[in-house]
Amino acid sequence: MAQGMLQRWTTPRVALDKTSVRLLTFASFALPILVWCLVSYVPHIWHPKVEITDPGGVSYFREGTLVDRAVFEIELEKKLKADPDAPAETLPQGVPANPVYLPAPHEVVTAFYTAFTTPPKRSNEPWLHESLWHSIQIIAWGFFWAMFFGIPLGVMAGTYAAASQLIEPFTEFFRYLPAPAFGALAVAILGIYDAPKIAIIFIGTFFQMVLIVAATTRKLNIALVEASLTLGCKGARMIRRVILPGILPDLYRDMRILLGWAWTYLIVAELIGTSSGITWFITQQARYKNFDNVFAAILIIGLIGLITDMILARLGKRLFPWHTGK
Amino acid sequence: MATPSSLKKWTTPEIQDRNERILKRPKALNIQGLDKSFYHKGRAVKVLEDIDFTAYKREFVCVVGPSGCGKSTLARLIAGLETIDGGAILMDGAETKGPGPDRGMVFQSYSLFPWMTVKKNVMFGLVEGGMSKNQAEIEALQWIDLVGLDKFAESYPHQLSGGMKQRVAIIRALANQPKVLLMDEPFAALDPKNRLKMQQYLLEIWQNIDITIFFITHDLEEAIYLSDRILVLEANPGRVKEVVSVPLPRPRADDTLLSEPFLATKAYLESLVHPVEEKQIDMEDKLSMVRMVPVDSEVPDIF
Ligand SMILES: Nc1ncnc2c1ncn2[C@@H]1O[C@H](COP(=O)(O)OP(=O)(O)OP(=O)(O)O)[C@@H](O)[C@H]1O
Ligand SMILES: [Mg+2]
């Protein structure tokens, strides 16, 4: 059986059995976590620092601070030279440690909880859940406006060659302009609050969306369009009755992929004007060297993305029962 | 368009009479001096040249010809899915402009709307034609019933077999009541048994409604079995080679496929479609290549 499984794994483009799917999905998360655990808990895989447990008379050592391993060894050497017979208790002591920016898994796991329960430093600052909610709103609005303009333009470009020729060359050019580069401009025009952030999400996804939707529309089987023509359907009715429903499952998949892109633009968008949302939380926590909270926040973004995508994928299967291909 | 001598003896007075009566009917589809070229790497390739043909009301016409002679192109031109280079296509005396519901089409690839149930597919053209949803539904269900798919009215196309899909495609076109139904090798993908069943279905329906069928096939037996007249095209460029009236009585007898007039017609069509035996490809030469492949010694030489 194991051999059969292995054979499946190494045959190109063959669907996996259920066990393999579960096993590999689990491994896909377990392997990176395992590496993280090894680096965190097994001494000297990395551990370039030493956490001082006893200063042992070294003037600048404090209990609990991290020093480079080399520095610690030099100080230890010095002490031993000065007094080779010094008892072990009087020497500086410490345990191998990783830099503060790599917290151990258990610290991050607790941070998942504590990050939500820690009150903000100042009363007018938002809690983590408020920051998250703010980020989600920025994404939702930016993506909504991108879809509002992007889908109609893309469908037009994919349907009519003339529309394609009018819309796509400029879009093709504009999509190479990095969205963050418009940050300063967006602030100058739209102020320092949410509007410029929404604009950055919009710029980051809209142009790609037009091109992707146009390509998706063009991929619609031309025979369906021709069949509808011979059945007396044309013009705007054809778009509504044939083209839109025909591309809907693929359009839905495109939106799922683009929504992922929107999240990658979020961080830049939130640094523009007054820093806000999850990005504000992350930078703030990094400033206080609470890297466990930083990791927790980053992972929360990943989880939100993964979970929404999974929900949307499930929903897609229900919405488009005729769509047998993925 | 005289009947060729080899078929003359089978053309009984009744058949002769019937064929003549067909030609006296009003013209349903009139193709005049039709030209069509495609541009390939900047060079025009003439696909159809000076096609003249008339199909009369309620006639069943089949089109045969060597592969690539432009049969599909001809059907697409009639349907309005390709632009005409020269000549004209007239429906009931009026020149056609672009696709329209008066010329229905059934494609080899079915082309059903995958997001619509069978019922919605059949209703599509009716609703587009301005019929109310309720009325369209009633009519659609009647058509679905007619071809024995009532159990599948709410199924999606991907849940149907090829033959069932093709039946839906046919009734979707027919429900729209086109004057001419264009069919481009609609049964080519079906197995022989299903194909025969579909042919019988089609004849049954055709006999009961007012429709002219323009049916493309490369299967000569199918053409003879189905049609009143057969339009034979020749290739490079596609031109009308001959129009053959089928010397068989209607309705077709059960053993018609084995009858002498049937076989004589087939032989005659064969001689038209593949005039001089195509130069025998030198199989010997190719076989020597095959022989170079070592034969597994465990496989006994069965020849
Ligand atoms: N869109 C197109 N662009 C360029 N050439 C085309 C196009 N459509 C068809 N042709 C060419 O026109 C010729 C006729 O094609 P067509 O499909 O009409 O032949 P056919 O008689 O239906 O062949 P078959 O029996 O194989 O279906 C072929 O040589 C083909 O290469
Ligand atoms: Mg063809």
Q: How far apart are CA B220 and CA A200, in angstroms?
A: 64
Q: How far apart are CA A296 and CA A301, in angstroms?
A: 9
Question: Which amino acid does the sequence have at B174?
Answer: L
Q: What percent of chain A is modeled with pLDDT above 70?
A: 99
- Rounded average pLDDT over B226-235: 93
pLDDT computed for residue B300 by the predictor = 56
Nearest CB to B176 within list A232, A241, A320: A232
Q: How far apart are CA B291 and CA B299, in angstroms?
A: 14
The residue of chain B nearest to residue A223, with distances taken between CA atoms, is B111
Residue A65 has pLDDT above 90, yes or no: no
Residue A54 shares a structural domain with residue A25: no
Residue A80 shares a structural domain with residue A144: no
Confidence of residue B250 (pLDDT cuts 50, 70, 90): confident
Residue B84 has pLDDT above 90, yes or no: yes
Q: For residue A248, which residues of chain B lie inside 8 Å, CB to CB?
A: 115
Range of A207-221, A259-273, A294-308, B89-103 with top mean pLDDT = A207-221
Q: How far is the CA of B48 from the centre of ligand 1 (A)?
A: 10
The answer to whether residue A105 sits within a structural domain is: no
- Rounded average pLDDT over A204-228: 95
Q: How far is the CA of B72 from the centre of ligand 2 (A)?
A: 4
Task: Give B180→chain A minimum CA distance, Å.
Answer: 11
Residue A72 shares a structural domain with residue A199: no
Residue A175 shares a structural domain with residue A281: yes
pLDDT tens for residues A52-61?
A: 888 888 888 8
Q: Output A30 or A89, whichever has higher pLDDT.
A: A30
- Sign of the dihedral defined by the CA atoms of residues A319, A323, A324, A326, in that order: negative
Under 8 Å between Cβ of B32 and B87: yes
Residue A194 shares a structural domain with residue A230: yes
Q: How many CB atoms lie within 10 A of CB B126?
A: 25
Tell me the C-alpha to C-alpha distance, in Å, between residue B111 and each of A126, A241, B116.
Answer: 56, 15, 12
Residue B275 has pLDDT above 80, yes or no: no
Q: How far is the CA of A157 from the centre of ligand 1 (A)?
A: 28
Q: Output B191 or A166, whichever has higher pLDDT.
A: A166
The residue of chain B nearest to residue A240, with distances taken between CA atoms, is B128
Of the residues B39, B48, B64, B71, which should be mutated to test ligand 1's pocket, given the most ligand atoms within 8 Å of the CB? Answer: B71
Residues with CB under 6 A from ligand 1: B 38, 40, 47, 65, 67-73, 218
Residue A326 has pLDDT above 50, yes or no: no
Domain coverage including residue A90: 49-97
pLDDT tens for residues A301-311?
A: 899 989 999 99
Residue B293 has pLDDT above 80, yes or no: no
Q: How far apart are CA A97 and CA A92, in angstroms?
A: 15
B285-B287-B291-B293 Cα dihedral, nearest 10 degrees: 100
Nearest CA to B111 out of B149, B154, B162, B36 is that of B162
Q: How far apart are CA A185 and CA A196, in angstroms?
A: 9
pLDDT tens for residues A28-46?
A: 999 999 999 999 998 888 8
Q: Which ligand is nearest to the CA of B66?
A: 1
Q: Output A169 or A65, whichever has higher pLDDT.
A: A169
Nearest CB to B128 within list A224, A232, A320: A232
Q: What is the mean pLDDT of chain B?
A: 88
* Number of domains within chain A: 3
Interface with chain B: mutation pick from A230, A243, A324, highest number of B CBs within 10 Å: A230
Report long-range pairs for A43-47 (Cβ below 8 Å, ≥24 apart).
Answer: A43/A95, A43/A96, A44/A96, A46/A98, A47/A96, A47/A97, A47/A98
- Rounded average pLDDT over A220-227: 94
Range of A1-10, A86-95, A107-116 with top mean pLDDT = A107-116
Q: For residue B72, which residues of chain A lie inside 8 Å, CB to CB?
A: none
Residue A326's SS3 state is coil
CA angle A84, A85, A91 (to 5 degrees): 80
Question: Which atom from ligand 1 is nearest to the alpha carbon of B39?
Answer: 4
Residue A34 shares a structural domain with residue A121: no
Q: How far apart are CA A298 and CA A296, in angstroms?
A: 6
Q: How far is the CA of B71 from the centre of ligand 2 (A)?
A: 6
Q: How far apart are CA A1 and CA A13, in angstroms?
A: 20
Nearest CA to B19 out of B293, B245, B217 is that of B245
A218-A224-A227-A231 Cα dihedral, nearest 10 degrees: -100
- Rounded average pLDDT over B6-15: 82
Nearest CB to A231 within list B80, B176, B182: B176
Which residues, 6 or more positions from A100, have their beta carbon under 8 angstroms from its beta carbon?
Answer: A66, A289, A291
Question: β-strand B43-56 against B180-184: which pairing, if any?
Answer: unpaired
Under 8 Å between Cβ of B190 and B158: no
Cβ of A226 within 8 Å of Cβ of B109? The answer is no
Question: Which of the residue ranges B102-106, B214-218, B275-279 would you say has the lowest mean pLDDT?
Answer: B275-279
Measured by CA distance, the residue closest to atom 28 of ligand 1 is B68
Under 8 Å between Cβ of A116 and A131: no
Which residues, 6 or more positions from B222, have their beta carbon under 8 angstroms from its beta carbon?
Answer: B62, B187, B195, B199
pLDDT computed for residue A7 by the predictor = 85
Residue A123 shares a structural domain with residue A256: yes
Q: Is B129 on the interface with A (CB under 8 A)?
A: yes
The residue of chain A nearest to residue B160, with distances taken between CA atoms, is A322
Which parts of chain A fold into alpha helices (H)?
2-9, 18-41, 69-82, 105-117, 128-159, 161-174, 183-190, 194-218, 222-230, 235-238, 244-271, 277-287, 291-319
Q: Is B186 on the interface with A (CB under 8 A)?
A: no
pLDDT computed for residue B179 by the predictor = 94
Q: For residue B182, which residues of chain A lie inside 8 Å, CB to CB?
A: 230
The answer to whether residue A204 sits within a structural domain is: yes
Nearest CA to B12 out of B248, B242, B269, B265 is that of B248
Residue B295 has pLDDT above 60, yes or no: no
Structure tokens at B171: 């009734």
Question: Which atom from ligand 1 is nearest to the alpha carbon of B75?
Answer: 18
DSSP character string of A227-252: HHHHTT--HHHHIIIIIHHHHHHHHH
Residue A187 shares a structural domain with residue A285: yes
Cis ω on the peptide bond leading into residue B192 (within 30° of 0)? no
The answer to whether residue A145 sits within a structural domain is: yes
The domains located in chain B, with CATH, are 4-102+180-283 (3.40.50.300), 115-177 (no CATH)
pLDDT computed for residue B157 by the predictor = 94
Task: Give A198→chain B minimum CA distance, Å.
Answer: 35
pLDDT computed for residue B273 by the predictor = 86
Structure tokens at A250: 């693929």
Residue A27 shares a structural domain with residue A91: no
pLDDT tens for residues B145-197?
A: 988 899 999 999 999 998 899 999 999 999 999 999 999 999 988 888 889 98
Q: Is A317 on the interface with B (CB under 8 A)?
A: no
Residue A97 has pLDDT above 70, yes or no: yes
Residue found by looking up tokens 């003896």 in the block: B9
Residue A298 shares a structural domain with residue A159: yes
Nearest CB to A227 within list B80, B103, B107: B107
Q: Output B32 or A87, whichever has higher pLDDT.
A: B32
Q: How far apart are CA A205 and CA A201, in angstroms?
A: 6
Nearest CA to B206 out of B50, B8, B24, B58 is that of B58
Q: How far is the CA of B106 from the centre of ligand 2 (A)?
A: 12
- Sign of the dihedral defined by the CA atoms of residues B188, B190, B196, B197, in that order: negative
Residue B251 has pLDDT above 60, yes or no: yes
**For helices A128-159 and A105-117, what crossing angle results, to 10°?**
100
Of the residues B35, B41, B47, B76, which should be mutated to test ligand 1's pocket, given the most ligand atoms within 8 Å of the CB? Answer: B47
Residue A14's SS3 state is coil
Residue A258 shares a structural domain with residue A294: yes
The answer to whether residue A102 sits within a structural domain is: no
Burial class (CB in 10 A: 0-12, 13-18, 19+), A303: exposed
Residue A189 shares a structural domain with residue A256: yes
DSSP character string of A70-110: HHHHHHHHHHHHH-TT--GGGS-EEEEE--TTS--HHHHHH
**Total residue length of chain A:** 326
DSSP character string of chain B: -PPPHHHHTT--HHHHHHHHHHHHSPEEEEEEEEEEEEEETTEEEEEEEEEEEEEETT-EEEEE-STTSSHHHHHHHHHTSS--SEEEEEETTEE--S--TTEEEE-TT----TTS-HHHHHHHHHHHTT--HHHHHHHHHHHHHHTT-GGGTT--GGGS-HHHHHHHHHHHHHHT--SEEEEESTTTTS-HHHHHHHHHHHHHHHHHS--EEEEE-S-HHHHHHH-SEEEEEETTTBEEEEEEE----SSPPTTGGGSHHHHHHHHHHHHHHS-SPPPPP-HHHHHHHHHTSPPPTTS----
pTM (predicted TM-score): 0.83
ipTM confidence: 0.86
Under 8 Å between Cβ of B215 and B62: yes
